[in-house]
Amino acid sequence: MGAVSRLASVVPASLLAVRSAPEMVSSGIPQLDLLTGGLARGCLTEICGTASSGRTSVLLFALARATQRGEVCALLDASDAFDPASAAAAGMEMSRLLWVRCGNGSGFSRWQSQLGQMLKATDLLLQSNGFGMIVLDLGDVPAQSARRIPLASWFRFRRAVEHTPTVLLVLEQQPIAGSCSSVLLRVSAVRAEKLSAVSSQLPGNHPAYSDLSHSKLLDQFEITAELLRSRLEKKLERKPAQSAASFKSRAAWAG
Protein backbone atom coordinates (compact mmCIF):
# COMPACT_ATOMS: atom_id res chain seq x y z
CA MET A 1 0.00 0.00 0.00
CA GLY A 2 2.85 2.37 0.81
CA ALA A 3 4.39 1.97 -2.64
CA VAL A 4 1.01 2.55 -4.30
CA SER A 5 0.42 5.76 -2.34
CA ARG A 6 3.84 7.09 -3.29
CA LEU A 7 3.20 6.35 -6.97
CA ALA A 8 -0.11 8.21 -6.76
CA SER A 9 1.78 11.43 -6.07
CA VAL A 10 3.89 11.13 -9.23
CA VAL A 11 2.79 13.51 -12.00
CA PRO A 12 2.36 11.72 -15.37
CA ALA A 13 4.71 12.90 -18.10
CA SER A 14 1.71 13.85 -20.25
CA LEU A 15 0.68 16.43 -17.65
CA LEU A 16 4.09 18.04 -17.19
CA ALA A 17 4.31 21.59 -18.45
CA VAL A 18 6.54 22.12 -21.47
CA ARG A 19 9.34 24.52 -20.62
CA SER A 20 9.30 27.51 -22.92
CA ALA A 21 12.27 28.30 -25.12
CA PRO A 22 14.78 30.61 -23.44
CA GLU A 23 15.06 34.21 -24.47
CA MET A 24 18.11 34.79 -26.66
CA VAL A 25 20.18 37.97 -26.57
CA SER A 26 23.00 39.13 -28.80
CA SER A 27 26.59 38.24 -27.94
CA GLY A 28 27.78 41.38 -29.69
CA ILE A 29 29.29 39.25 -32.49
CA PRO A 30 26.90 38.80 -35.46
CA GLN A 31 28.67 35.70 -36.75
CA LEU A 32 28.42 34.05 -33.34
CA ASP A 33 24.75 34.96 -33.08
CA LEU A 34 24.09 33.27 -36.43
CA LEU A 35 25.85 30.15 -35.17
CA THR A 36 24.14 29.81 -31.79
CA GLY A 37 21.11 32.07 -31.98
CA GLY A 38 22.75 34.31 -29.37
CA LEU A 39 23.25 33.79 -25.66
CA ALA A 40 20.43 32.14 -23.72
CA ARG A 41 19.00 33.72 -20.60
CA GLY A 42 18.51 31.31 -17.72
CA CYS A 43 21.18 28.97 -19.07
CA LEU A 44 24.86 28.20 -18.60
CA THR A 45 27.06 28.67 -21.68
CA GLU A 46 30.66 27.40 -21.80
CA ILE A 47 33.35 28.86 -24.06
CA CYS A 48 36.62 26.95 -24.06
CA GLY A 49 39.93 27.51 -25.80
CA THR A 50 43.66 27.64 -25.30
CA ALA A 51 45.68 30.77 -24.53
CA SER A 52 45.33 33.45 -27.24
CA SER A 53 42.35 31.63 -28.71
CA GLY A 54 39.96 34.58 -28.58
CA ARG A 55 38.15 33.83 -25.31
CA THR A 56 38.76 37.32 -23.95
CA SER A 57 37.50 38.94 -27.15
CA VAL A 58 34.20 37.06 -26.81
CA LEU A 59 34.00 38.10 -23.15
CA LEU A 60 34.55 41.77 -23.97
CA PHE A 61 32.05 41.80 -26.84
CA ALA A 62 29.39 40.02 -24.78
CA LEU A 63 29.74 42.28 -21.75
CA ALA A 64 29.91 45.39 -23.93
CA ARG A 65 26.68 44.45 -25.70
CA ALA A 66 24.91 43.64 -22.43
CA THR A 67 25.92 46.89 -20.74
CA GLN A 68 24.89 48.83 -23.86
CA ARG A 69 21.44 47.26 -23.45
CA GLY A 70 21.37 48.91 -20.02
CA GLU A 71 21.93 45.70 -18.06
CA VAL A 72 24.05 45.43 -14.94
CA CYS A 73 26.67 42.69 -15.35
CA ALA A 74 29.18 40.92 -13.11
CA LEU A 75 32.61 39.54 -13.98
CA LEU A 76 34.21 37.06 -11.60
CA ASP A 77 37.89 37.28 -12.42
CA ALA A 78 39.59 34.18 -11.00
CA SER A 79 43.11 35.24 -12.00
CA ASP A 80 42.84 39.05 -11.89
CA ALA A 81 43.51 39.25 -15.64
CA PHE A 82 40.77 41.71 -16.67
CA ASP A 83 41.99 44.87 -18.44
CA PRO A 84 39.57 47.81 -17.99
CA ALA A 85 41.23 49.78 -20.82
CA SER A 86 40.52 47.00 -23.33
CA ALA A 87 36.96 46.73 -22.01
CA ALA A 88 36.35 50.45 -22.48
CA ALA A 89 37.83 50.28 -25.99
CA ALA A 90 35.38 47.47 -26.80
CA GLY A 91 32.48 49.76 -25.89
CA MET A 92 31.71 48.44 -22.40
CA GLU A 93 29.76 50.75 -20.07
CA MET A 94 32.05 50.38 -17.05
CA SER A 95 29.53 51.96 -14.66
CA ARG A 96 27.28 48.92 -15.22
CA LEU A 97 29.96 46.32 -14.48
CA LEU A 98 30.69 44.70 -11.12
CA TRP A 99 34.27 43.43 -11.27
CA VAL A 100 34.96 40.79 -8.64
CA ARG A 101 38.73 40.27 -8.29
CA CYS A 102 39.61 37.09 -6.46
CA GLY A 103 42.34 37.52 -3.84
CA ASN A 104 45.91 36.69 -4.61
CA GLY A 105 47.26 33.46 -3.20
CA SER A 106 50.63 31.80 -3.39
CA GLY A 107 52.13 28.35 -3.65
CA PHE A 108 50.19 25.14 -4.09
CA SER A 109 46.97 26.50 -2.54
CA ARG A 110 46.75 29.60 -4.76
CA TRP A 111 44.15 28.33 -7.20
CA GLN A 112 42.23 26.44 -4.54
CA SER A 113 41.84 29.64 -2.55
CA GLN A 114 40.91 31.84 -5.52
CA LEU A 115 38.44 29.33 -6.95
CA GLY A 116 36.84 28.98 -3.54
CA GLN A 117 36.29 32.74 -3.42
CA MET A 118 34.89 32.73 -6.93
CA LEU A 119 32.39 29.95 -6.20
CA LYS A 120 31.12 31.71 -3.06
CA ALA A 121 30.76 35.00 -4.92
CA THR A 122 28.92 33.28 -7.78
CA ASP A 123 26.41 31.79 -5.35
CA LEU A 124 25.71 35.22 -3.85
CA LEU A 125 25.34 36.94 -7.21
CA LEU A 126 22.98 34.28 -8.59
CA GLN A 127 20.83 34.55 -5.49
CA SER A 128 20.53 38.32 -5.96
CA ASN A 129 18.80 37.81 -9.32
CA GLY A 130 19.70 41.34 -10.37
CA PHE A 131 22.22 40.81 -13.18
CA GLY A 132 21.68 40.55 -16.91
CA MET A 133 24.93 38.63 -17.34
CA ILE A 134 27.35 36.91 -14.97
CA VAL A 135 30.70 35.82 -16.40
CA LEU A 136 33.13 33.41 -14.73
CA ASP A 137 36.56 33.92 -16.28
CA LEU A 138 38.62 30.77 -15.66
CA GLY A 139 40.70 31.22 -18.79
CA ASP A 140 44.03 31.50 -16.97
CA VAL A 141 43.25 28.85 -14.36
CA PRO A 142 45.19 25.62 -15.08
CA ALA A 143 42.83 22.98 -16.47
CA GLN A 144 43.80 20.55 -13.73
CA SER A 145 42.76 23.03 -11.05
CA ALA A 146 39.53 24.01 -12.84
CA ARG A 147 38.48 20.36 -13.09
CA ARG A 148 38.56 20.16 -9.31
CA ILE A 149 35.49 22.35 -9.08
CA PRO A 150 32.81 19.95 -7.78
CA LEU A 151 30.15 18.97 -10.30
CA ALA A 152 27.64 19.76 -7.56
CA SER A 153 28.61 23.43 -7.87
CA TRP A 154 27.71 23.48 -11.56
CA PHE A 155 24.39 21.75 -10.86
CA ARG A 156 23.69 24.37 -8.19
CA PHE A 157 24.53 27.23 -10.56
CA ARG A 158 22.35 25.75 -13.30
CA ARG A 159 19.36 25.45 -10.99
CA ALA A 160 19.93 28.93 -9.57
CA VAL A 161 20.01 30.60 -13.00
CA GLU A 162 16.94 28.76 -14.34
CA HIS A 163 13.83 30.91 -14.71
CA THR A 164 15.90 34.09 -14.37
CA PRO A 165 16.82 36.69 -17.01
CA THR A 166 20.53 36.11 -16.34
CA VAL A 167 23.03 34.83 -18.92
CA LEU A 168 25.63 32.68 -17.13
CA LEU A 169 28.82 32.55 -19.19
CA VAL A 170 31.91 30.50 -18.28
CA LEU A 171 35.29 30.90 -20.01
CA GLU A 172 37.83 28.12 -19.57
CA GLN A 173 40.64 26.16 -21.19
CA GLN A 174 38.73 22.86 -21.32
CA PRO A 175 35.04 21.95 -20.76
CA ILE A 176 34.35 21.44 -17.06
CA ALA A 177 30.61 21.85 -16.42
CA GLY A 178 29.54 18.63 -18.14
CA SER A 179 25.82 18.23 -18.71
CA CYS A 180 25.09 21.38 -16.70
CA SER A 181 25.89 23.64 -19.65
CA SER A 182 23.28 24.25 -22.32
CA VAL A 183 25.77 25.38 -24.96
CA LEU A 184 29.44 24.50 -25.41
CA LEU A 185 31.64 26.49 -27.80
CA ARG A 186 35.30 26.11 -28.64
CA VAL A 187 37.27 29.07 -29.97
CA SER A 188 40.61 29.15 -31.74
CA ALA A 189 42.52 31.95 -33.41
CA VAL A 190 45.13 32.64 -36.07
CA ARG A 191 47.27 35.68 -35.47
CA ALA A 192 47.32 38.37 -38.14
CA GLU A 193 49.96 41.11 -37.99
CA LYS A 194 50.01 44.44 -39.75
CA LEU A 195 53.31 46.25 -40.05
CA SER A 196 52.19 49.65 -41.29
CA ALA A 197 50.06 52.68 -40.45
CA VAL A 198 50.18 52.27 -36.68
CA SER A 199 53.88 52.29 -35.80
CA SER A 200 53.82 55.95 -34.84
CA GLN A 201 50.73 55.55 -32.64
CA LEU A 202 52.23 53.39 -29.92
CA PRO A 203 51.60 54.73 -26.40
CA GLY A 204 54.35 56.02 -24.13
CA ASN A 205 57.96 56.18 -25.18
CA HIS A 206 58.08 52.84 -26.94
CA PRO A 207 60.03 52.89 -30.22
CA ALA A 208 58.15 52.23 -33.43
CA TYR A 209 58.05 48.46 -33.87
CA SER A 210 59.09 48.85 -37.51
CA ASP A 211 62.50 49.89 -36.15
CA LEU A 212 62.84 46.63 -34.21
CA SER A 213 63.80 43.88 -36.63
CA HIS A 214 63.36 41.15 -33.99
CA SER A 215 59.80 42.06 -32.96
CA LYS A 216 56.28 42.11 -34.34
CA LEU A 217 53.23 43.87 -32.97
CA LEU A 218 49.90 42.03 -32.99
CA ASP A 219 47.14 43.97 -34.70
CA GLN A 220 44.21 41.56 -34.91
CA PHE A 221 42.97 38.00 -34.45
CA GLU A 222 40.93 35.92 -36.84
CA ILE A 223 38.82 33.79 -34.50
CA THR A 224 36.95 30.60 -35.29
CA ALA A 225 34.11 29.47 -33.02
CA GLU A 226 32.92 25.86 -33.21
CA LEU A 227 29.61 24.74 -31.75
CA LEU A 228 30.41 21.48 -29.93
CA ARG A 229 27.08 20.99 -28.18
CA SER A 230 23.73 22.70 -27.86
CA ARG A 231 20.87 21.49 -25.70
CA LEU A 232 18.71 24.36 -26.97
CA GLU A 233 18.06 22.96 -30.44
CA LYS A 234 14.86 21.14 -29.49
CA LYS A 235 13.62 24.09 -27.44
CA LEU A 236 14.28 26.45 -30.32
CA GLU A 237 12.79 23.93 -32.79
CA ARG A 238 15.65 24.39 -35.18
CA LYS A 239 19.04 23.00 -36.00
CA PRO A 240 22.04 25.26 -36.50
CA ALA A 241 22.73 25.91 -40.16
CA GLN A 242 26.44 25.52 -39.52
CA SER A 243 28.77 24.24 -36.82
CA ALA A 244 31.47 26.92 -37.04
CA ALA A 245 31.81 30.66 -37.62
CA SER A 246 34.72 33.06 -38.07
CA PHE A 247 35.14 36.69 -37.08
CA LYS A 248 37.93 39.18 -36.45
CA SER A 249 38.92 41.06 -33.33
CA ARG A 250 41.39 43.92 -33.30
CA ALA A 251 43.80 44.82 -30.52
CA ALA A 252 42.50 47.65 -28.35
CA TRP A 253 45.28 50.06 -29.27
CA ALA A 254 44.78 49.43 -33.01
CA GLY A 255 41.45 51.27 -33.01
pLDDT along the chain (255 residues), means of 10: 57 57 93 94 96 91 97 94 92 96 67 89 93 96 92 96 96 95 91 50 46 54 89 59 75 49
Q: What is the pLDDT of residue 146?
A: 92
H/E stretch holding 240 reads none
SS3 for 112?
helix
Q: What is the pLDDT of residue 254?
A: 47
Any long-range contacts for 147-151 (C-beta under 8 Å, 24+ apart)? 147/174, 147/176, 148/112, 148/115, 149/115, 149/119, 149/176, 151/178, 151/180
Q: What is the pLDDT of residue 113?
A: 84
Q: What is the pLDDT of residue 98?
A: 97
CATH 3.40.50.2300 at 20-192+216-250, yes or no: no
Q: Are 132 and 66 in contact (CB under 8 A)?
A: yes
Q: Comparing C-alpha atoms, which of 170, 151, 162, 148 is closest to residue 75?
A: 170
User: Mind giving me the DSSP string for 116-154?
Assistant: HHHHHHHHHHHHHT--SEEEEE-TTS-HHHHTTS-HHHH
